[in-house]
Structure 1
Amino acid sequence: MAPPATFVDSMALQEVMISSPPDIKPTSSDINDAAPTGGRRAFKSTGPAFVPISGVYGGHLLGQSAYAAYKTVDKSFYCHSITGHFLVGGKPKIPFIYTVETVRQGKTYCTRYVQVRQPSPTDPRPFDSEVIFVATVSFKTVEPRGLESQVPPPTELKQWVSNPKGCEIAPAVDVPSWIEFTKLKGIPPSYTAVDLRKVDVEEENKSRPLHEHRKVQIYKPVGPFPPEEQSCLSICTHIYASDRNGMFAVTGPHNASDNIIHTGSLSHTLVFHANPDKLLFSNTNREGEGSQSWAVLEQVGDSASEGRGFIRSRIWDADGTLLATVIQDALIRVRVDNGDKPVGKGDKRKPTFSESLKSML
């Protein structure tokens, strides 16, 4: 099996020209040397996107949108928040085009608006093609220390990061039928761009109400970062990982993950609370097994209603610092009552996730 793609490979971008008619050509061999065009710059993905089963992983669009936006701001700024809206599912093996617009450029805060498209190679007007994802990315400069407070970290935090390699690699889709399917098919667990591992918290969840069940994953990027991009790529790693398997924090407590008919992210917001120095994966240049090399993603399904689920997540470092908070609104339609009634607009004749997998055995 080929080694997993590094995070740098996964995020790789090439600046492209915005011309009339649009003409997808590199403007510079160095992405940072190209001049902005009319307040907008565009970038084309050159690296692979993670594909859990058939569609592109949403965290890739989030992380790469932030990375593209980073290319348009001064190095004194860092991303402190991002909000993305998923409009159409991404297609594997087709490059993404990220158009970054300068909304505001202030002295301490600035804002970028990113539109993502997947035009076909023969599209004569690629910048007029369908938008599949949009994101608003806010940047700020580092400020002197001011007020300091946070919610206390989980009491189990030290235990979660005590033995990273003892945790199993998180499944591409954390659903019982998928895990069984991969065993029957002999598909080994794998990861790409980010080494993300699942912490077993099933026993402690048994005594919790459904809305307090926790899903816990730990992660770090794969491969080293160039020193000049250590900060921005570390932050993009957190953004990338924040979308992983979150929807199953809603369906899992209901034992309904196998009965999914249709699911997908609608919107995703991440707000960082720590300064860039606390967000660094400082030892990505070496093989580090210590807990300090891992971040913790703690996910809770606060609500399930109206064919949707609401996921609230917190990202911690191993010392208990709250690095970021994530909220996610997701489309979640499942078959209920033994198949007699669908939820939302899902057609009850449509197979569930587990039924689709059984048909492939």
Structure 2
Amino acid sequence: MAPPATFAESMALQEVMISSPPDIKNNINDAAPTGSRRVFKSTGPAFVPISGVYGGHLLGQSAYAAYKTVDKSFYCHSITGHFLVGGKPKTPFVYTVETLRQGKTYCTRSVQVRQPTSQNNSLLDSEVIFVATVSFKTVEPRGLESQLPPPEGLERWVSNPRGREIAPAVDVPSWIEFTKVKGMRPFYTAVDLRKVDVEEENRSRPLHEHRKVQIYKPVGPFPPEEQSCLSICTHIYASDRNGMFAVTAPHNASDNIIHTGSLSHTLIFHANPEKLLFPDTAVGEEGYFNPSSWTVLEQLGDSASEGRGLIRSRIWSADGVLLASVMQDALIRVRVDNGEKAAGKDNKRKPTFSESLKSML
């Protein structure tokens, strides 16, 4: 198996000059006028949990593409993405970034993502698979400050990162068993994400208060000039990982999934860019596992209904600063009646995730 890609390699883009209209800016530090457009093509690998592309890759790389069109005094403070069509693992992504507004302290970019095939005459003629709105702002003087208190288990969650198991690509019991039978080792790519066992803590909680906890940090060093940008993109990338199972796991229904996927995903940062940094990405092994350098992703399944689930997440620094809040609307169809019919467009019996894996053994 090839070594995991670094986060910087995973985000890599090259600009594509489709045409040269007068509204396209060549200097990324220039403030582009409303309506200007720039196009970028991915060059790095996308993480593939099983067969489809990881949604967090599209979120993070959309933000990274948008970053290339704003002045360095701006940082991303929020992003909302809508997943339209599943991505193909071996096909590059094309990101079209349009300037919606350019202000002095806030600016907004729209990003459309496509995956052109060799049959397309134009990179921009193919189907849009993902759209995002990315908002940027400048750093402001200190003002009002308040936040939720950090969770009681936070200090324990970040302790001993080396001893935490690498989070499975799909955090479902049947998948974990499948990988053991197949002799597949857990691995990470782009972001080192580790699972924290909170099963005992969840036993006494109602279903909607069950938590899923993971800790993470990026893999590999960042170029100094992109330290802030790539740190923020790391948080965006990680925020989508295994979140849907925060809805199914409290119901013991993860193995009974028939169809699941993100519909929309919103992340809002609360902290200034300095608090969002991963400054020690290039340190040696001992420093790498310093608990204070890891970030906590706390996920809760607030609602399950109408074939969908709502995942509410919080991102915490190791010292208890609320860095960001996340809301994710996901398609989640599971078999709940053990009968022949399944939720969906028709009445045909569809195999559950567990049944599909058993057929592959």
Query: Does TM-score exceed 0.5, indicating one fold?
Result: yes
Structure-2 change in CA distance of 1:156 and 1:33 (3 Å): closer
2:4 maps to which residue? 4
Provide Cα deviations, 1:274-303, integer angstroms capped at 9, x if missing partner.
Answer: 000000001012132111211000000000
SS at structure 2 position matched to 1:285: coil
- Picking from 39, 62, 66, the partner of 1:65 is 62
Equivalent positions of 1:1-361 (< 5 A) are: 1-19=1-19, 32=28, 39-287=36-284, 288-345=288-345, 347-361=347-361
Q: What is the rounded CA distance, in whole Å, between the counterparts of 2:122 and 2:80 in structure 1?
A: 27
| Distance of aligned partners of 1:33 and 1:104 in 2 relative to their CA distance in 1, 3 Å threshold | closer
- Superposed displacement of residue 341, structure 1: 4.4
Deviation of 1:344 (Å) = 4.3
Distance 2:29 2:214 in 1: 38
Percent identity (aligned): 82
Equivalent residues of 1:261, 1:346 under 8 A apart: no
Alpha-carbon contact 1:279-1:323 (below 8 Å) kept: yes
Compared CA separation, residues 48 and 85, structure 1 to 2 (3 A): same
For residues 79 and 348 of structure 1, the distance between their equivalents in structure 2, rounded to whole angstroms, comes to 44
Deviation of 1:32 after TM superposition, in Å, equals 4.8
One-letter code aligned to 1:234: S
Which amino acid in the other structure matches residue 359 of structure 1? S
Residue 211 of structure 1 contacts residue 303 of structure 1 at CA under 8 Å; is this kept in 2? yes
Cα separation, 2, equivalents of 1:346 and 1:291: 49
Q: In 2, distance between residues paired with 1:181 and 1:346?
A: 29
Does the C-alpha gap of structure 1 residues 122 and 348 become closer, same or farther in structure 2, counting only changes over 3 Å? Answer: closer
Relative distance call for 1:199 and 1:152 in structure 2 (3 A) is same
Structure 1 residue 35: deviation in Å? 11
The 2-side partners of 1:51 and 1:11 are apart by 14
Give the superposition deviation at 1:2. 2.3
CA–CA distance in structure 2, aligned partners of residues 269 and 106 of structure 1? 22
CA-to-aligned-CA distance 1:176-203 (integer Å, 9 cap, x gap): 0000000000000001000000000011
What are the superposed Cα offsets for residues 70-129 of structure 1, whole Å, 9 maximum, x if unpaired?
000000000000000000000001000000000000000000000000001341122011
- Say if 1:269 and 1:327, in contact at 8 Å, map to a contact too: yes
RMSD of aligned Cα (Å): 2.0
Structure 1 unmatched runs, 5+:
21-26
1:50 and 1:195 mapped to 2: Cα distance? 12
